[in-house]
Amino acid sequence: MINKSLLRKCPLFIYQIKLINFMARFWSIGAICALILTQVRALSIGWSIQDVINFFFICPFIILTLFLGKLPLQLKAIFLIIANMAIGFIGFYKMGMLAGSVFLFPMGTIITALVFSKRATIFMAIISLLLLCFIQGNRM
């Protein structure tokens, strides 16, 4: 629910809502496309536990998109931050197909800067930079 007094005090709040909603829709569309491509690949090479994990990871994106207007801005932002950080951690840990997703760490910082306080943004920026500094890849 949107607080009308907050809209009068901060007209940028409308743009924050629109931007977070756009990000959530964009992530949902991308996640659904990735799920479809993963399932097509699974038909040719066989099913694995990773396919089930992908399905259950994408379900919250679809639920978020369906109830986008009913959720508060902070909850949507927290969900997007957690999703970006989770995908970044997977890329950080595996360094396989998702190795490029480590650059989603700064995206979590950007979303934090849009919605939350300066202290939270600085905290997220430090975490993102530290994680990006320690990327070495698979060296054996």
Phi, psi of 46 (to 5 degrees): 110, 155
- Domain extent, residue 99, equals 10-133
Residue 2 lies in a domain: no
Residue 1 lies in a domain: no
Residue 90 lies in a domain: yes
The pLDDT of residue 140 is: 44
Please state, in angstroms and as integers, the Cα–Cα distance from residue 61 to each residue in 25, 56, 125, following that order.
8, 10, 24
The pLDDT of residue 83 is: 82
pLDDT exceeds cutoff 60 at 2: no
Residue 53 lies in a domain: yes
H-only helix segments in 1-140: 4-9, 12-45, 49-66, 73-94, 105-115, 118-133
Residue 110 lies in a domain: yes
Residue 118 lies in a domain: yes
The pLDDT of residue 91 is: 65
Residue 4 lies in a domain: no
What is the total count of domains within the chain?
Answer: 1
Higher pLDDT pick, 96 / 86? 86
d(CA 38, CA 51): 7
Residue 140 lies in a domain: no
Instruction: For the chain, give the percent of residues with pLDDT over 70.
Output: 79
